[in-house]
Structure 1
């Protein structure tokens, strides 16, 4: 029988702190979308208490009535400090940042700066579903450059997509997911430098969604896109929301490379009114004072990746699973189970467990599901048990 690993890190593992009964008292999307008999391991919310420095900062702000409009550069300064200590990158210039409501709305604003209606945006499916939804809503064309069989960027496919994207002299952008969601792939410095070279050759502007950057597995190294040679004209979106479970406290940062500072300067002033001031306070505290909590989380996620691999090998060996280098998401290949294009629907109906349908992630998603590992080992074990029940 598979044993559930015990946390051995300095701080308590936050993934073990909350009972299922307490989690079901939450009113957010993860816990209220489905009936109570469904076990939710789908949307990107973590089953953790907040880091104490975040709770303290928000509580102090509320006690003071500090709930007005956001101002200042404390968030950007905290992110720059985190980037230097965590990734060895000292190139995040505070003066080349702007606060935006959240990462996806920031992506929209960056794409508006560098493309026009009808222009193309290249994406790497299978990829985060809002990449399709937001791009199409803003009247841009999606051009796909699917990941390779190894779930990494296929540079040949990317070059062909860039060629199609700029046909007729149109402007084009590349929406890079780094680390990649749903596969958890961490792009290497060499891969990102090759991307930058291709983008320069074809005149494509790179907009990098780096929201999962702090959530990397042991042995993996996140490389900021703007840190590689040739990426000076790039734009990046970063946030503490995924790593510290702050999606409900809206705030993110747009970061410009040296050659795109003038583009970022054209961002309308009113965009900066969209983030929550309390959100900015929370994200700043997380980046500045919450790294001990983050390290305990990362250790717990490493345990959960190993646990899921063991459970699947024991109970559902036909499911293909490669533990990810980053994110707290697991991309599961269920095609050998014979459940059709959307196994998530079968798992929900027959097993009462909610995972994200792979078909929502575009090309390459058929027959796959995405499972959220940011929960207790007991919930992961129960999710696998329910998936097994669905096959019975």
Structure 2
């Protein structure tokens, strides 16, 4: 069983992030490429600029050739996830019988919250955090209680305990919605941190639902620990998917996984929820987990290169923009507060630089003054994005904060 981190670099020729030109990408009709005009570089929503992994493409085309486009059935997806979890994370306890297919991770979160809480019950989150947490939870009539991360973007356990204490008042049934790995910061929680969170949740009677969609996306040398593997997490629930790691957002399918103490809860999920996932999506996700490991390793090596590239470019051209290299995800969380801008940095970079990034304000407390950048693209487009961001500041948005004028970087390709 291979549980060691990746150490061997993958040759550039196999890097899926270098496979597509900007011209090819602009032919796509998805949200990333159709929300903004063609003069904008889109480095915002979580879509990757990659071709499909060959085993995934083959699974889809084989299904189409057979007309195999009906309703999902069977446990192949869960079996593939269990095999992947054993090989990649050393988790041999993912029980197929304690899983359920759901349309996607966020709709799975909704279903898990329905199982263990009711309208009016609080949901605790570690802000700044993925904006749909606020949107979906709010639409369910459940108030959000924030437990902000510490300055190092790790769980602040004093803040978490205080939030738990507030949430349980009045007989509520609160839920801790854990983002692991964390979006947008890229923090990968350690086994100790997760066990401490589980212990605290047990003490206060808080149920835990973990969004682990970014679990396969780790920087070199970083280890992911599934929440359900730590002591005290037996009554936890997790949502997992191949969506982020293999760029399958348009092929809806995810899995809810229950700890042994939550199997009765998961058994109460309505049967009709299993009708929501796409059958072709289930086939694609299964193929990714089962046969897409080599492609994933090539992607991860390319993401490591892109993190280093971004750090070098910022240090040289935008030193006032701070960014801690992420341990996971393909996202970069850029601290622009020292730029002394008159408005939201995402707006400045879009309007003056024609680079689309996610504004930090939507991520809750701690997000103001930050932007989120999607690094799952070519090095050339990252380089061009930093060039445009630098020019945007030269044009009046904090010119004193960078050096040497507009950098002589490579043009977009």
**How far did 1:338 drift?**
1.2
SS of equivalent residue, structure 2 residue 14: coil
Q: Which residue of the partner structure matches residue 376 of structure 2? A: 374
**How far did 1:76 drift?**
0.1
Q: Which residue of the partner structure matches residue 4 of structure 1? A: none
Q: Which residue of the partner structure matches residue 178 of structure 1? A: 180
**How far did 1:8 drift?**
3.8
SS of equivalent residue, structure 1 residue 321: coil
Q: In 2, distance between residues paired with 1:349 and 1:341?
A: 11
Q: Which residue of the partner structure matches residue 149 of structure 1? A: 151
Q: Runs (4+) of structure 1 moved beyond 6 Å?
A: none
The match for 2:128 among 126, 129, 133 is: 126
**How far did 1:9 drift?**
3.5
**How far did 1:342 drift?**
1.5
Q: In 1, distance between residues paired with 2:372 and 2:341?
A: 15
**How far did 1:341 drift?**
5.3
Alignment RMSD: 0.9
- Rate the CA distance shift 1:11–1:202 in 2: closer, same or farther, 3 A: farther
Deviation string, structure 1 residues 148-192 (Cα, Å, up to 9, x no partner): 011000011001101111101110100000000000000000000
Q: In 1, distance between residues paired with 2:386 and 2:214?
A: 25
- Rate the CA distance shift 1:44–1:295 in 2: closer, same or farther, 3 A: same
Q: In 1, distance between residues paired with 2:339 and 2:156?
A: 27
Q: In 1, distance between residues paired with 2:353 and 2:30?
A: 22
Deviation string, structure 1 residues 168-223 (Cα, Å, up to 9, x no partner): 11101000000000000000000000000001000100000000000000010000
The match for 2:81 among 68, 79, 82 is: 79
1:53 aligns to 2:55 (yes or no): yes
Q: Which residue of the partner structure matches residue 279 of structure 2? A: 277
- Rate the CA distance shift 1:303–1:118 in 2: closer, same or farther, 3 A: same
Q: Which residue of the partner structure matches residue 223 of structure 2? A: 221
- Rate the CA distance shift 1:11–1:291 in 2: closer, same or farther, 3 A: farther
Deviation string, structure 1 residues 206-263 (Cα, Å, up to 9, x no partner): 0000000000000100000000001000000000000000000000000000000000
Q: In 2, distance between residues paired with 1:47 and 1:371?
A: 13
Is the Cα contact below 8 Å between 1:11 and 1:292 reproduced in 2? no
SS of equivalent residue, structure 1 residue 280: helix
Q: What 5-or-longer segments of structure 1 have no aligned partner? A: 1-6
Deviation string, structure 1 residues 247-306 (Cα, Å, up to 9, x no partner): 000000000000000000000000000000000000000000000000000000000000
- Rate the CA distance shift 1:194–1:11 in 2: closer, same or farther, 3 A: farther
Q: Which residue of the partner structure matches residue 204 of structure 1? A: 206
SS of equivalent residue, structure 1 residue 387: helix
User: What is the number of equivalent residue pairs in this alignment?
Assistant: 386
Q: Which residue of the partner structure matches residue 366 of structure 2? A: 364
Q: Which residue of the partner structure matches residue 101 of structure 1? A: 103
Q: In 2, distance between residues paired with 1:352 and 1:60?
A: 40
1:315 aligns to 2:310 (yes or no): no
Normalization by structure 1: what TM-score? 0.98
Q: Which residue of the partner structure matches residue 39 of structure 2? A: 37
Is the Cα contact below 8 Å between 1:182 and 1:331 reproduced in 2? yes
1:16 aligns to 2:18 (yes or no): yes
